[in-house]
Amino acid sequence: MDIQSIKNRFGIIGNAPALNHAISIAERVAATNLTVLITGESGVGKEVFSHIIHQIGTRKHNPFIAVNCGAIPEGTIDSELFGHEKGSFTGAHDARKGYFETVNGGTIFLDEIGELPIGTQARLLRVLESGEYIRVGSSKVIKTDVRLVAATNVNLQEAVRAGKFREDLYYRLSTVPIYIPPLRERGEDIYLLFRKFSTDFSEKNKIPSVKLTDDAKELILKYPWPGNVRQLKNVAEQVSILAMDKDVTAKELAQIVPDITDNRLPALAESRYNAGGSNFTEREILYKLIFDLKNDLNDLKQFVYDVTKHQVTGAPVQNQIQSSDFRMPGSNQPVIISQSNTGQPVVMDNKGFNESETIEESLSLMDKERELIIKALKKHRNKRKNAADDLGISERTLYRKIKEYGIEI
């Protein structure tokens, strides 16, 4: 089956080279039983690729199940995946088959696999290596023949280095890696997807279809789309409903979706999730940049003070350097270099400066993460689901972070 046929069958829109490459890998690996690891940001369509691998492969007539590992509480995920015996834990009134038993012969898609607890990772590794597992509360070994397709939006190599993901499981999962590019790297695909989503919505709701003017098209092509395809679909539907004129200009588009004019920072996300890049979010990187700039400013102030306090070549420094040569960052006010009554040089900016002045900020990303979680919880009145959505993490991850940081709610 060629790439275009796969696109037509699974409703994939776009011609970006990176997207076509991902589809070609999925098509080639589908005929095998190899484990596949799909990487990419949230909202790029990783689950679609799991369906491609299953439905054009040799297991297409057997069961398929998609499991979101981040949505299952840590205490029950072993039971969900591997089953349990009656009485094995509180509430286990009957024996239950797990997914690896019910989907025997088929395919399991484990989304957000980076959220798996370490103990569950060990169980999963055994399944991948030997095809065997044990139900919770049992001692009987059960055999299974399941093909595993995993997906993650985090850098698993960074998770391995942080001790949050097993190294042996990572290498077992990434037999065949597939990287799906974010929307901002797909160029004209953004407009093609917008037209598709708006047309489908208009036909479904029997309303006139909207069309973007050239300046509006340019606006959506420049926007970084942090929510990727999922966010673009929501925007297309919003515009289809709220646009007063069916030829939507950039001005009207910005009124309907104010965030569309926010180009944010240059794309800081790594180009390949499995290439060993950082696992920091854009928000964390922004905080780090701000703190680094503050420290650089302090260093600059201290440097100017030290230079004017000592003589470099034997001549007074204040005679060597004109005060107009120095301006504080972000200000048109020059640094004033003069002598005090004691003969010592004094360095001042437009606000004044002395040797003891410092700006102390915590550079710990953990501290900032804790602060953001507290703010999100306060904003949403301790409703964890809403706070997790606002932070862009799963509710289970938020619950773990609350316990980890000892946050009282």
Condensed to tens digits (0 to 9), the pLDDT of residues 133-145 reads: 999 988 899 999 9
Report the Cα–Cα distance between both ends of the chain, in Å, rounded: 54
List the structure tokens of 294. 């503050």
Q: Which residues of 204-221 are buried (b: 16+ CB within 10 A; e: fewer)?
A: eeeeeebebbeebbebbe
Categorize the per-residue pLDDT at 116 as very low, low, confident or very high, splitting at 50, 70 and 90. Answer: very high
Q: CATH topology for 366-405?
A: Arc Repressor Mutant, subunit A (1.10.10)
Categorize the per-residue pLDDT at 348 as very low, low, confident or very high, splitting at 50, 70 and 90. Answer: very low
Tell me, what's the pLDDT at 314?
A: 47
Distance CA 323, CA 319 (A): 10
Cβ 68 vs Cβ 111: under 8 Å: yes
Residue 8 has pLDDT above 60, yes or no: yes
Query: Mind giving me the DSSP string for 74-128?
Result: TTTHHHHHH-B-TTSSTT--S-B--HHHHTTTSEEEEETGGGS-HHHHHHHHHHH
Check residues 85 and 396 and name the one with the higher pLDDT: 85
Tell me, what's the pLDDT at 56?
A: 95
Check residues 404 and 40 and name the one with the higher pLDDT: 40
Highest mean pLDDT: which of 196-200, 294-298, 324-328, 367-371?
A: 196-200
Whole-prediction pTM: 0.63
Categorize the per-residue pLDDT at 321 as very low, low, confident or very high, splitting at 50, 70 and 90. Answer: very low
The CATH number of 184-261 is 1.10.8.60
Cβ 195 vs Cβ 54: under 8 Å: no
3-181 classified as CATH 1.10.40.30: no
Tell me, what's the pLDDT at 282?
A: 54
Residues near 106 by beta carbon (within 8 Å), at least 6 away in sequence: 54, 59, 62, 63, 64, 65, 146, 147
Residues of the chain with CATH 3.40.50.300: 3-181
Nearest 5 degrees, angle CA 296-CA 365-CA 398?
A: 155
Cβ 178 vs Cβ 25: under 8 Å: yes
Categorize the per-residue pLDDT at 391 as very low, low, confident or very high, splitting at 50, 70 and 90. Answer: confident
Residues of the chain with CATH 1.10.10: 366-405
Tell me, what's the pLDDT at 338?
A: 47
Residues of the chain with CATH 1.10.8.60: 184-261
Give the dihedral sign, CA 262/266/270/272: positive
Across 28-32, 172-176, 201-205, 269-273, least confident range? 269-273
Highest mean pLDDT: which of 81-90, 225-234, 289-298, 339-348?
A: 225-234
